[in-house]
Amino acid sequence: MTDPLSPAQAVDRLRTDHALLLATVDGLDGDALAADYATDAGPLGDFCASLHDLVAHVLMWNEINLAVLTEADRGRDHWSLAPAFETAETGRALNQAGVASGRMLAADLLLDRLASTHAALLDQFAGYAEDDWRDRAGPLAARVFTVPGREPFWHAALHLRAVPAGVR
């Protein structure tokens, strides 16, 4: 078993993952973002028919995980950690619903939300002391930021087939 990632390593992956997604969509207008685009499917299926969909999918994941960490900091479990929400069927439904709702937003609004949620995640991670990260926040963050069967703190990179070489 490998050692868990430090807060700095987790933040580095979150930043890199975000930068990979932004580099992929940079300069594209709404029509280009909505055009057909093949992404790699996750373990629950493929919900993204375009880069707009992928941005919505990653955004939903980040927003839910930010809420998980925020609730944990207040001593509460987030709804998404309840067993009823941790089934493959419910996960697929949440993915489909997140992408569908993202399709209703203009690309600039979706990208603005992605940026603000990413900044909020970085702020959240910066607030953890080393011992709190090791004992509580880190294991929870690794759990919720891990696509099953993959390395933690990668999401967009997995769908874009762009996880950097040499990642454990």
* Residue 164 domain flag: no
Could you tell me the residue range of the domain that residue 97 belongs to?
Answer: 7-159
* Residue 73 domain flag: yes
Are 21 and 115 spatial neighbours (Cβ–Cβ below 8 Å)? Answer: no
**In whole angstroms, what is the distance from residue 12 CA to residue 64 CA?**
20
* Residue 79 domain flag: yes
45 three-class SS: strand
- Exposed, middle or buried by CB within 10 Å (0-12, 13-18, 19+), for 164? exposed
Strand partners, 36: 50
* Residue 165 domain flag: no
**In whole angstroms, what is the distance from residue 142 CA to residue 168 CA?**
14
* Residue 31 domain flag: yes
**Looking at residue 84, what DSSP letter applies?**
G
* Residue 85 domain flag: yes
Whichever domain contains 18, its CATH number is 1.20.120.450
pLDDT at 71: 96
* Residue 167 domain flag: no
pLDDT at 153: 94
Domain count, the chain: 1
Residue in the block written with tokens 């990208």: 111
pLDDT at 9: 92
**In whole angstroms, what is the distance from residue 101 CA to residue 36 CA?**
18
Task: Kindly give the confidence (pLDDT) of every residue in the chain, 168 residues in length, as a single tens digit, with 9 standing for 90 and above.
Answer: 356 799 999 999 999 999 999 999 999 999 999 999 988 887 766 789 999 999 999 999 999 999 999 999 999 999 999 999 989 899 889 989 999 999 999 999 999 999 999 999 999 999 999 899 999 999 999 999 998 888 899 999 999 999 887 665
